[in-house]
Amino acid sequence: MRKLLVEEMNRLSVDEFKQSDKFPYIIVLDNIRSLNNIGSFFRTADALRAEKIILGGYTQQPPHREITRSALGAELSVAWEKAPVAAEAVLDLQSKGYKVLAVEQVEGSTLLQEFNFEPGAPYAFVFGNEVEGVSDEVMAVVDGCVEIPQFGTKHSFNVSVSAGIVLWEFVRKNLTEK
């Protein structure tokens, strides 16, 4: 078995990525403090062709050396916008027809593998602060919550790892419905 060379991977250029069809979802970051996590969100959004990232609350925005270090240039390909108040961004998305789901451990959450995404429907996924989770203000306005099952002694994944799991599941289900 041989590793593929970068030239063999048929990667899109930044311009081609910007023009490409995206999967119908937006990522909302609610007060993410780690610049490395923010960069990781950009890489995941690029790999899984998100429409855009909304940087809510005190989540920092590019350009920033620490974001770029983990984003590896994905901050240049993925559309993003700054939203000073994440809850207002959620309400705006809902007014545009997005179903907004927090990724959080709460009463009444739906386990990720049991959630039935409506194929082709637009979704937004809210990921919260590394310590506090999704803010109470945002939780008061989301349409629901999905939770990733866990089986160890810890009670959470790193927030950017959670994004990879949830967003891949969403994209996977959209791919199988086509």
User: Concatenated DSSP letters for 103-131?
Assistant: E---TT-EEGGG----TT--EEEEEEBTT
- Read off the pLDDT of residues 31-86 as tens digits, 9 standing for 90 and up: 999 999 999 999 999 999 999 999 999 999 999 999 999 999 999 999 999 999 99
SS3 23: coil
Nearest of 121, 120, 80 to residue 100 by alpha carbon: 121
What's the whole-model pTM score? 0.95
Fold observed for domain 9-177: Alpha/beta knot (3.40.1280)
In the chain, what are the domain boundaries?
9-177
- Read off the pLDDT of residues 143-162 as tens digits, 9 standing for 90 and up: 999 999 999 998 889 999 99
In this structure, the chain runs to a length of 178
Count Cα neighbours of 133 within 13 Å in the Cβ-side half-sphere: 12
